[in-house]
Structure 1
Amino acid sequence: MIVNVTLRQLRVFQAVAEERNFSRAGDRVGLTQPAVSRAIVELESQLGVKLLDRTTREVVLTEAGQSLALRLDRALDELDQTLAEVHGMAGARRGKVRVASSPTLSANLMPACIAECARRDPEIELVLLDRIQQDVLDSVRAGEVDFGVVVEPPSAEDLHCEAILDDPFCLVMAPGHRLADKASVRWPMLDGEPLVLLDYASGSRRLIDDALAAHRVRCEVRQQVGHPTTAFRMVEQGIGISVMPAMAMPPMGLPALVVRPLLPKIQRSIMLVHRRNRAPSPLAQRVWALIREVAGQRVRR
């Protein structure tokens, strides 16, 4: 089956999907409202599926419309970039690069990368998608982003991975805890302690569980949370102690808590990942190299 979809129809749908209004979409693409409606009807006819539910008050994407809208921005961005390069309008120096990153990395690594990209390559727009680890991997596999920044994934046969940073785990506890006066803490010393840990949406939780099991540490996990800050507040209230990656520590430290290295040192590996059989664009490769460089500077510091 040959689908004769035009670029104009796709751009009209993109505008409607973002504006959720035919009049505003028409203003954006320079068409009248009837012309916008006609383009959408033609697109739906070519695809054989309904993309929008339209009422007098709102425009709602159907499941098929959501699926198309999710991938369309990237596809049109790539097409625009390709056409610009072919016509010599911007070469490979101008464009948008989408990077997905898990929350701890989004907060503690990516801001420096975005700032450095803006300083060094102002013609590149680095767009960050802040998502839980599994959603980052799904976005990479679906081609929604150019690449991802993640904690080492458990399964990566279909991904090209490059480790850029090792991040050790440490112990976080209240000042009065029995282990707080030690310069470092060995994993077996956690046996029997109540824990507040990141939940399984975090790429780190699997590694923490493995480390506890490897050292035969048996603990009650009293709370599982989605963000390190929540865990820190619970530790302050005496609910338990916490094992956290060092990168989760805020830049100004934790004045109300005590942080100690855990021995033997166990680290999570921070990686850049893209689909194995699809090399990133030249622009994405430049951002990839920049993130690797910023991570390297962090290690040296």
Structure 2
Amino acid sequence: MNISLKQLQVFRAVAAERNFSRAGELVGLTQPAVSRAINELEYQLDLRLFDRTTRDVQLTQAGQILAQRLPRWIDELENTLNELHSWAHNRVGKVRLASSPTLSAALMPHCLALCAQQEPGLHVILLDRIQENVLNSILTGEVDFGIIVEPDSATMRELDCETLLTDPFVVVCPENHPLVRPKNGRHKTPGWSDLSGSDLILLDRASGSRRLIDEVLSRQDVRHQVVQEVGHVTTGFEMVRAGLGINVVPSLAVPETGLPGLAVVCPRPIRHRRVMLARQKNKTLAPLASTLWTIVKLSTQQTMQRRKSL
């Protein structure tokens, strides 16, 4: 059965006016269009709803039953549709977002400030967690979406993702380290091979970047020893200050205020990680969540432009 709301609205008008022309004026249709709509409705129901003569239009018994019940149905449907329309345009509510600590520190302060400025009714609940827990909160629906480091291919298949930025891996070392000292009076951009033989302080395996760092070191054939694994980049930086080794970290892990006493170098060839927005596979975001998704993209662009200018 294929019955449209328009056909039911036309029926209600004809039932009220008992005249096809006046009913057409109510619903904005010509008399032939009204007749066609009623004929189509009767065809779908396999019932006559009106007895028509050249001078009169009368409801049949089936028409009377429909005319009695239809107004309530249409009113309820219109109320529901109006409620959905209001919900779609609602600018007040909560959105839950998950992100790992390094990404939260680098990207979220400006994002939250921009959101407060552009959408003051949008309350963002940020879950600041390690990557594994961020992914789990997305997949279980605990959050509307998350900001993640590119996961493995199996996990990617369970998500709908959009690349937010590409972030190069850098080395953090003392200012007097051979990687940054001039050679023969010339400053030379170091390569990954120059890290061979180094003691490395790396993020532990709970980090979404550790798998990618290991891949870079392996593909660049960097012979190294991992002397410490840390859960937070700040711990690693202080270990570098103490002379325990050097860091390989994502560029976003380096604070915008810099690292006094330490040097940051980007070995060649440049190797990146992808930072992504992610939501459940085939999940349509609610309007407010979609608004925040857009704000995250805009604020990230602004943050990256600001970092490049430093």
Answer whether TM exceeds 0.5 for this pair: yes
CA RMSD of aligned residues (A): 1.9
CA distance in 1, matches of 2:87, 2:169: 48
State percent identity of aligned pairs.
48
Which residue of 1 is the match for residue 161 of structure 2?
Answer: 161
The one-character-per-residue Cα deviations of 1:88-139 (angstroms, maximum 9, x if unpaired) are 4894211100000011011110111011000100000011100000100000
Alignment partner of 1:214 is 2:230: no
What aligned pairs does 1:117-132 form with structure 2 within 5 A after superposition? Answer: 117-132=115-130
Shift of 1:298: 2.9
Counterpart of 1:125, as a letter, is: H
Alignment partner of 1:291 is 2:296: yes
- Secondary structure of residue in 2 paired with 1:167: strand
Structure 1 pair 120/216, CA: closer, same or farther in 2 (3 Å)?
same
Shift of 1:183: 5.0
Counterpart of 1:228, as a letter, is: V
The one-character-per-residue Cα deviations of 1:33-83 (angstroms, maximum 9, x if unpaired) are xxxxxxxxxxxxxxxxxxxxxxxxxxxxxxxxxxxxxxxxxxxxxxxxx99
Select which of 108, 129, 144 maps to 2:142.
144
Select which of 238, 254, 272 maps to 2:259.
254
Select which of 172, 193, 197 maps to 1:192.
197
CA distance in 2, matches of 1:121, 1:285: 12
CA distance in 2, matches of 1:85, 1:215: 58
CA distance in 2, matches of 1:230, 1:84: 54
Structure 1 pair 89/296, CA: closer, same or farther in 2 (3 Å)?
closer
Structure 1 pair 266/87, CA: closer, same or farther in 2 (3 Å)?
closer
CA distance in 1, matches of 2:274, 2:120: 30
CA distance in 1, matches of 2:189, 2:134: 34
Counterpart of 2:191, as a letter, is: R
- Secondary structure of residue in 2 paired with 1:129: strand
TM-score by length of 1: 0.70
Alignment partner of 1:104 is 2:109: no
Which blocks of at least 5 consecutive residues in structure 2 are unaligned?
1-79, 182-186
Counterpart of 1:177, as a letter, is: H
What aligned pairs does 1:216-231 form with structure 2 within 5 A after superposition? Answer: 216-231=221-236
Which residue of 1 is the match for residue 45 of structure 2?
Answer: none
Alignment partner of 1:179 is 2:179: yes
Shift of 1:180: 2.1
- Secondary structure of residue in 1 paired with 2:278: strand
CA distance in 2, matches of 1:137, 1:197: 22
CA distance in 1, matches of 2:188, 2:113: 35
- Structure 1 segments, 4+ long, off by >6 Å, are none
Structure 1 pair 89/136, CA: closer, same or farther in 2 (3 Å)?
closer
Question: 8 Å contact 1:84–1:91 — kept in the other structure?
Answer: no
CA distance in 1, matches of 2:88, 2:293: 20
Shift of 1:261: 1.1
CA distance in 2, matches of 1:246, 1:104: 10
Greater Cα radius of gyration, structure 1 or 2: 2
Counterpart of 1:230, as a letter, is: T
Shift of 1:172: 0.6
Counterpart of 1:163, as a letter, is: T
Shift of 1:185: 1.7
Shift of 1:279: 1.3
Which blocks of at least 5 consecutive residues in structure 1 are unaligned?
1-81
Structure 1 pair 83/94, CA: closer, same or farther in 2 (3 Å)?
farther
- Secondary structure of residue in 2 paired with 1:263: coil
Shift of 1:299: 3.4
Structure 1 pair 84/290, CA: closer, same or farther in 2 (3 Å)?
farther
The one-character-per-residue Cα deviations of 1:184-221 (angstroms, maximum 9, x if unpaired) are 32101111100000011111111110000001111100
Report the more deviating stretch, 175-184 or 164-173.
175-184
Counterpart of 1:153, as a letter, is: P
- Secondary structure of residue in 2 paired with 1:109: helix
TM-score by length of 2: 0.68
Shift of 1:297: 2.2
What aligned pairs does 1:231-246 form with structure 2 within 5 A after superposition? Answer: 231-246=236-251
